[in-house]
Amino acid sequence: MPSPLLTAVRYLLLRARARAGAAASGHPESGAITLEWIVIAGILVAAAIAAGAFFTGAITRYEGKIP
């Protein structure tokens, strides 16, 4: 079973890659990826990684307390 964290990060990276490809295509209706969206995506990825590490550590500590 794949990790939910890796699945979420993979999804975000694929969405960013698709938007970058659409913006690079030059089609006027393709939309554009702006710096703001790149920064927001980076913040979301960093937050997801931090939350995953935090919750993994917390769960591991609590599992250690189970006899």
* Tens digits of pLDDT across the chain (67 residues): 678 888 888 998 898 888 777 777 766 665 556 677 788 888 999 999 999 999 999 998 888 888 8
Q: Is-above-0.95 flag for pTM?
A: no
> How far is it, in rounded angstroms, from Cα 23 to Cα 21?
5
Q: Are 45 and 5 in contact (CB under 8 A)?
A: no
> What pLDDT was estimated at residue 39?
84
Polymer length of the chain? 67
Radius of gyration in angstroms for the set of CA atoms belonging to the chain, rounded to a whole number: 17
Q: How many domains does the chain have?
A: 1
Per-residue burial over 23-62, b if 16 or more Cβ lie within 10 Å, else e, is eeeeeeeeeebeeeeeeebeeeeeebeeebeeeeeeeeee
> What pLDDT was estimated at residue 29?
60
Q: Which domain holds residue 46?
A: 4-65
